[in-house]
Every structure is written in C-alpha cells, then in structure tokens.
Structure 1
Amino acid sequence: MSTIAKALGLLDLFSDAQPSLGLSDAQRLTGRDKATVHRHLVALEQAGFLEQDMYTRAYRLGPAITRLAGMRARTVPEVEMVRSVVGALSREAGELVHISRLQGFDLVHVHHAEDHDHPVRVSFDAYGLPPLFATASGKAYLAFAPGGLLDLALADPRTRLPGTPPPDRMEIEAELKLIGRRGFASNRDALRLGVSSVAIPVFDGASRAFATCSIAYPTGRGGKATEAHLARLLMQHGQDISEAMGGVVPPQILDLWTPSRERAAS
C-alpha cells in the first residue's frame, strides 16, 4: 500500500460513533508506529482533510471533506455513481439488478442493468414499482429502517397491493427479524408468478437505510440454491453499492455480509 493510500486510509477510522481520534487512538487502530501515524495525521490536517481541536488535540474530519462531498453531489449524477457497480453485478449474476430509493413509502427507480445473455428475462417497469410489502426491496428496507417505521407502514394502504389487507403483524415482524439476522430479503412468486428476487438495503452517509438493491430472476432458473447464490453476490457487493451512493455500511451489517473466513483473512 502506498504512503498516500495509508494516509488517506486514516479517514476511514472516523464514524458517527467515533467522530474524533487522538494520535494514540489512531496508532492503536491501525497497528502502525506512532511516528508514521503522526506524520500522516499532520499531512491530512495541512491538506484540510482533518482538523485538530486546540484543547483536546484530537483530530476530526476537516472542511475539505465537506467541500469535496458537496462537489461530488453537484457534479456526479446519482446514476453515474452506481452505473459501473450495478453493471458489474448484473454481469456476474446474469440477472436483472435494480436500485431504488425510498421517497416516503414509494420505491423510486434510480438505475437498473440487465447485462446478460439469458433468453428468458424478467419484465421490468421502472415507473411502475410495486409497494413495499409486495417486494423483497421493500422488506429489506423495513428490516433495516429506524424503529417505529413498521407501524406507519402497516397503517398506510399504499404499502400493499390494491385490494389486499395489511400483513399480519406477527408474521411480518418475524419475517423482518429473519431478514435482519441474515442480511437480505427474498420473495418467491409473491408479486408475480414465475418471478423471484433478493434484496439488500443501501445506506447513506449517516449509515441509515435509504435505498435498496435487488436482483430479480425467473423462478424457473433455480430454487433455494439460486436464491442463496444471488444473495451472496448482493452482500459481497453491498459495501461498494452504498459507498458508490456516498454511504457507509454499519459495522454490524458488514459482519453479516462478510463470511467469517474473509474477515479472518483481512
């Protein structure tokens, strides 16, 4: 790893839970020698990426971060941020990959890719997305959204298909807990016969679920093994997807998405 990469890597140590760091903290978390870490911290401060509290001497993120983040938001359209990672995931999965953002209780299309050669494909309407409780995407969002949202969703008829009753509370709570434990949601022939899907949440800069990424596939392509394979692909790319949209995946979700053997090797 280059010296520049090591210095910039210190920025990843900061989070909502740890907004400031002293020299000793940074040295302990990186395992590098204190003189090197101090030199990198000073260089980042001089460039405006960090600033130092004059009383505590602790470092926190600096104004250059805000300037660059604002410039990216203004100059790089959201679709451009995710185009490459979604396209790569579609090629690897061989299926339709779709990112949607939540506005209220509506799923709003952001970008999708269907970069594969299968003659049988899932028909997709970017402007007619189904309601939350009818999709893997909606359930993935609800499972990782802030507390209290489920009550509002159950009371709003827009979250379910027209003419259908609200989900049974005990059943949906049990399903959302399962999704929270395994890191992804799935639907099999629930919305439309012959169509299945898996989905994960996408997180914003404050590590809050604000969007979803799903893979939709013809049910006839396979059973539980196919579902598990596509879910693993989604989770493997989950951090890249959130980061492409300017977000940060919470550590506990990364643990769900990263197999123990990969964590041990890192």
Structure 2
Amino acid sequence: MAETEAPKGVLQSADRALSVLLSFTEVRPEWGVSELAREHGWDKAVAQRLLTTLAARGFLLCDETTRRYRLGPSVSRLARVGEHSGVLPSLVRPVLARLLRETGESVVLNVPNGSGYRCAAAVDGAGPVRYTAIVGALMPGHAGASGHAIFAHYPEAELRQLFGASPLQRFNEQTITDFDALMDRYAQVREDGVSLSHGEYDEAVTAVASPVFQAGAVAASLTVIGPAHRVSRAAGNLGDLVRDAAAEATAAFGD
C-alpha cells in the first residue's frame, strides 16, 4: 500500500505517528513492524522508529515475546480526559437535537462503563408523559437496548468476563438473564444495526438504540426512549431514524 501524502502544512513525522495510532482498531488490536510498514507503504526502519517512539511515551506497549505492539496506558489516559471534558457529547449534541425534533421522544447518548453504561448526554422528549434521563446515571449493561447496542460489538471473551456469571440480575420478566440468550440477542443487533427493547430494565419504557463507533471500535450508543405505548407503535420508523443518526454521530466522532 502506498503512503498517503500528508496535507499541505502538516508535519510528516507527526502525521505518521497519528496514522500509526489510528491503525489500531477493535478488529486489528495488534501490529508487527513489518505488517505496519506494508500497510502504510513505509520503509521498515521508519515503522520501527515510529513504534519505538510511541512506546517510549506509553502510547503503545510491545510484547517482548512476540514483538507485536498494542495500545498503551497513555491512550486510555487521554480517552478519560476527553470523556470527562465532554468532548464526545459536544460533538453529537446537534444529532441529539435533530433526533428529538424528528421523534418527539427523549434521546440519550450512553457510553460503556465496566459491565454497564453511563448516560453522557440527553435531551428530554416533549409532552407531560416522557422518559427523563439523568446525565451520569449508571445502568446495567445486559438489560435494555442501549447496552445491547454497545456490548454486541465486544469480543466474546470480554463479554464472558463481564456477563459470564449466571444468572444475570433480573429486573422483571423481560430481562435477559442467560448468557447464551444474551449472545443471541447481540448477534441479532449486529445483523440489524439497531437494538429494540421492551421494558427489560424499566417495564414502562421501550427503547431503540444503535451503536456509535470511533476509530473502528464501539464508543457509545444513541437511543430513543419513551413510554412503551408510544415508542412500541413507532419502533419500525424509529429504527431507521436512530440508525441514520448513529451513523452521523460516528462521522462526527471522526471514524
């Protein structure tokens, strides 16, 4: 693969280093020197210097046995800073506002938090009967469309660590408490690109959610949520709107 020329005015070495970091994705979490050099059309020595420099600053870690590189703690530190500074919510607030206008229901941006997810941004629906999300609230990852849209894109080995305990906590008769059943739901979410839940956590609400990606990995879910009697009737149309809005949010995140 030939190297893509850096935009005018851009420092080539810095551009290459950033290209290295963006090469690491959920699908490709590790790279060797030769592989990376071929991928970007660089001399092997150039790739080695870039990897060594990034590892020296903690952005990469090198396995001493395999000599393969993966993302390091400095990446996680910057991700936490970005999350707490509200960067991600600010990027998608226009998307949330538009989705509210289109649906009339509450719209929520949720981000993964251990085995659950946390509300990062929300706009409340119109009318006296509506769902109100609390920014910062933590929710269980296995119960509801928002969590399914996020965790459906995690590796199965990681999912077993998060949800492998049996049975999972039951909140009502709609809650999925069996790991295999949860995996089946995740497979359907990946196929559809959207998740629908009817009262799995709160029996009074129905939610429609779709994943938002950043740098090839799931970063959040975008959810329309509201009273079951309204949202359930409109679920088909809402699915298309939420899927399109999540794709727009992914673009805003720079995927």
Classify the TM-score, shorter chain: 0.5 to 0.7
Which residue number in structure 2 is paired with residue 218 of structure 1? 227
1:232 to 224, 232, 240: 240
Contact 1:136/1:198 (8 A) holds in 2:
yes
After superposition, give the CA deviation of every residue in 1:19-65 in whole Å (9 maximum; x if it has no partner).
Answer: x5468xxxxxxxxxxxxxxxxx57x2554476696769xxxxxxxxx
1:95 aligns with 2:115: no
CA gap of 1:134–1:45, structure 2 versus 1, over 3 A, is same
**Aligned counterpart, 2:116:** 106
Distance in 2, Cα, partners of 1:222 & 1:237: 17
Residues 166, 191 of structure 1: CA spacing in aligned structure 2 closer, same or farther, 3 A cutoff? closer
Gaps of 5+ in 2: 17-39, 45-77
Q: Which secondary structure does the structure 2 equivalent of 1:186 belong to?
A: strand
The aligned counterpart of 2:200 is 190
Q: Equivalent pairs: percent with the same residue? A: 20
Q: 1:163/1:95 Cα in 2 relative to 1: closer, same or farther (>3 Å)?
A: closer
Displacement after TM superposition at 1:230 (Å): 1.1
Query: 1:136 aligns to what?
Result: 145
Q: 1:122 — aligned with what?
A: 131
Structure 1, unpaired ranges of 5+: 1-19, 24-40, 57-69, 249-266
Distance 2:202 2:108 in 1: 17
Partner of residue 157, structure 2: 148
Q: Any idea what the Cα deviations from partners look like across 1:106-143, whole Å, max 9, x if unmatched?
A: 312211112x5333211333343320111211111121
8 A contact 2:145–2:197 mirrored in 1: yes
Q: What CA RMSD, in Å, does the superposition of the two structures yield over aligned residues?
A: 3.6
SS of residue matched to 1:175: helix
Three-state SS of the structure 2 residue aligned to 1:148 is helix
Q: Counterpart of 2:196 in 1: which secondary structure? A: strand
- Whether contact under 8 Å (2:194, 2:208) holds in the other structure is yes
Higher helix share: 1
Normalization by structure 1: what TM-score?
Answer: 0.61
Shift of 1:95: 0.9
Number of residue-to-residue matches in the alignment: 196
Cross-structure match for 2:68: none
